[in-house]
């Protein structure tokens, strides 16, 4: 490239509170930067079976460090190692004779928490009643906050030891930004906070007792104000963050997918992998297996969608519960077999090929938190990118985009019958109607709702921070 807009090679670190295996946003940013000649290092968490130092096929480097709450304790190394050894021996003893699964492991993604909210780092906090319930909730919440703090401290300490010298640090999520701030201070780099959710109003954090939520909210406000720029994924989130943190409106860089030319005719990857009947329709949910994402409602709705199979592609804390539901004989069909099928998550480089093999993508996210009501999930843009129609929640974050693009239908996500009716409408549409969904989605994904457009916004902001074009 030449001319004033040609990028000047620079160095960037992207800090993620996960293994970075399945984080599409990190992949898209890192691969776009590497393609422009920048030195990109993703600083992530290590898990068994993964390399500590890896060069991704897209041209960026991933450095992973071991992370644990015990290692975050403010004690000498020998004391931390002693405690870790005792805990490890107790874990092995508890696990013997139960089911053969190591304690703390899940059927998929053991030890590999999602970036979005860190919900895999501690037990779910459920409301209680009766004498002492409030004290128990406070104690459980305090333990959770302590675990979060110690885990962040552990990652920060280990990451600073391996982080290369950089010009800019991009910190992902509330558990990534304090680590990123430490790296940026050490190297005198500019810093971006990528607040991808309204964390204090998301998932399990929204259920913390109010005093503990206030502690975390105050900490995040400080981290956001310490960053040179805050970035988020949609305008509603940006408005909430600007008000709460007394900051200029964060830059909006939507979680859109990169340009993709879906094969014609579509591949039948799910049919081949799962041995589905040739005439079976595939309703796809892909992403984290956690509560309030609408997965339970989809399982309840699928028996009322003739000829369709629900495929759940991902991993998370609901894995075992979903496997039991999938094995329920009541959810079986003589022709289709099991109506609910589960597949493990796939890397970002493969994801769009799988999504393109579905007949409809469903995302009936529940309106249980402010974060969910305003969300614009990755899966919406991934479905648009491959031309597959969607059934989405009629909520302020998603509904305007679905209406603007005509890429699918919105429903009351709390009513399985309404979800089933929308699925039947799309699957029963004429060939012409389905082609229209496809063309509208692809057109939107190749304009405003495409990654190629969104990443330019981020690159321009990087340039303002470092004074050199990216």
Q: Break the chain into its structural domains and give their ranges.
A: 1-256+450-470, 269-445
What pLDDT sits at residue 239? 98
Query: pLDDT class for 133, splitting at 50, 70, 90?
Result: confident
Out of 78-87, 304-313, 317-326, least confident range? 78-87
Distance of CA 211 to the CA centre of its chain: 27
Same fold for the domain at 1-256+450-470 and the one at 269-445? yes
User: Which element (helix H / strand E) includes 312?
Assistant: strand 308-315
Q: What percent of the chain has pLDDT over 90?
A: 82
Put residue 436 in one of left, alpha, beta given phi > 0 → left and psi -120 to 50 → alpha: alpha
User: What pTM was computed for the model?
Assistant: 0.87
Decide which of 249 and 83 is more confident: 249
Q: What is the mean pLDDT of the chain?
A: 90
List the beta bridge partners of residue 229: 192
Helix, strand or coil, per DSSP, at residue 157? helix
Q: What percent of the chain has pLDDT over 70?
A: 88
State the burial class of residue 382 (Cβ atoms within 10 Å of its Cβ: 0-12, 13-18, 19+). buried
Whether the predicted pLDDT of 91 surpasses 70: no
Out of 116-125, 172-181, 274-283, 328-337, least confident range? 116-125
Mean pLDDT calculated for residue range 141-150: 92
Q: Of 261, 268, 223, 263, give the one whose Cα is nearest residue 241.
A: 223
The CA distance from 357 to 268, in Å, is 5
Whether the predicted pLDDT of 71 surpasses 60: yes
Q: Which of the four CATH numbers 3.40.50.2000, 3.30.479.30, 3.40.50.300, 3.10.580.10 does domain 1-256+450-470 have? A: 3.40.50.2000
What pLDDT sits at residue 80? 66
The CA distance from 107 to 348, in Å, is 20
Buried b / exposed e along 169-193 (16+ C-beta atoms within 10 A): bbbbbbbbbbbbbbbbeebebbbbb
Mean pLDDT calculated for residue range 193-212: 94
Decide which of 89 and 289 is more confident: 289
Task: Tell me the CATH class for 269-445.
Answer: alpha beta
Distances (CA, A) of 89 to 1, 68, 95, 164, 194: 57, 16, 10, 35, 38
The CA distance from 86 to 90, in Å, is 6
């Amino acid at each position: 490239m030449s001319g004033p807009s040609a990028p000047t090679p620079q160095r960037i670190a992207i800090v993620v509170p996960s293994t970075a295996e399945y984080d599409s946003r990190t992949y898209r940013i890192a691969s776009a930067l590497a393609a422009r000649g920048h030195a990109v290092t993703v600083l992530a968490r290590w898990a068994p079976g993964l390399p500590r130092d890896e060069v991704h096929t897209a041209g960026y480097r991933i450095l992973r460090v071991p992370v644990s709450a015990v290692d975050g304790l403010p004690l000498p190394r020998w004391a931390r190692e002693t405690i870790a050894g005792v805990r490890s021996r107790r874990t092995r003893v508890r696990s013997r004779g139960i089911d053969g699964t190591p304690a703390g492991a899940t059927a998929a993604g053991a030890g590999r928490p999602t970036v979005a909210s860190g919900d895999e780092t501690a037990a779910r906090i459920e409301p209680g009643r009766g004498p002492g319930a409030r004290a128990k909730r406070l104690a459980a919440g305090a333990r959770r906050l302590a675990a979060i703090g110690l885990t962040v401290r552990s990652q920060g300490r280990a990451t600073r030891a391996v982080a290369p010298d950089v010009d800019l640090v991009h910190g992902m999520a509330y558990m990534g930004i304090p680590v990123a701030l430490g790296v940026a201070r050490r190297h005198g780099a500019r810093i971006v906070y990528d607040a991808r959710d309204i964390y204090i109003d998301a998932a399990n954090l929204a259920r913390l007792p109010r005093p503990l939520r206030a502690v975390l909210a105050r900490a995040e406000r400080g981290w956001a104000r310490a960053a040179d720029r805050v970035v988020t994924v949609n305008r509603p989130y940006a408005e909430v963050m600007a008000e709460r943190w007394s900051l200029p409106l964060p830059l909006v860089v939507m979680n859109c997918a990169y340009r993709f030319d879906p094969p014609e005719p579509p591949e039948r990857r799910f049919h081949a992998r799962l041995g589905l009947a040739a005439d079976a329709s595939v309703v796809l949910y892909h992403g984290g297996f956690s509560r309030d994402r609408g997965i339970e409602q989809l399982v309840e709705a699928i028996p009322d969608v003739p000829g369709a199979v629900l495929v759940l592609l991902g991993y998370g804390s609901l894995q075992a519960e979903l496997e039991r539901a999938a094995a329920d004989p009541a959810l079986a069909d003589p022709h289709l077999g099991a109506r609910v099928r589960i597949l493990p998550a796939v890397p970002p480089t493969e994801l769009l090929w799988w999504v393109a093999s579905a007949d409809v993508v469903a995302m009936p996210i529940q309106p249980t938190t402010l974060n969910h009501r305003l969300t614009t999930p990755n899966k919406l843009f991934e479905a648009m990118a491959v031309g597959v129609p969607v059934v989405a929640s009629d909520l302020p974050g998603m509904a305007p985009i679905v209406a603007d693009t005509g890429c699918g239908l919105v429903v009351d996500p709390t009513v399985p019958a309404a979800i089933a009716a929308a699925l039947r409408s799309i699957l029963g549409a004429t060939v012409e109607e389905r082609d229209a969904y496809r063309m509208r989605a692809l057109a939107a994904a190749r304009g405003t709702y495409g990654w190629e457009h969104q990443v330019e916004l981020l690159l321009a902001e990087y340039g303002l921070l470092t004074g050199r074009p990216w």
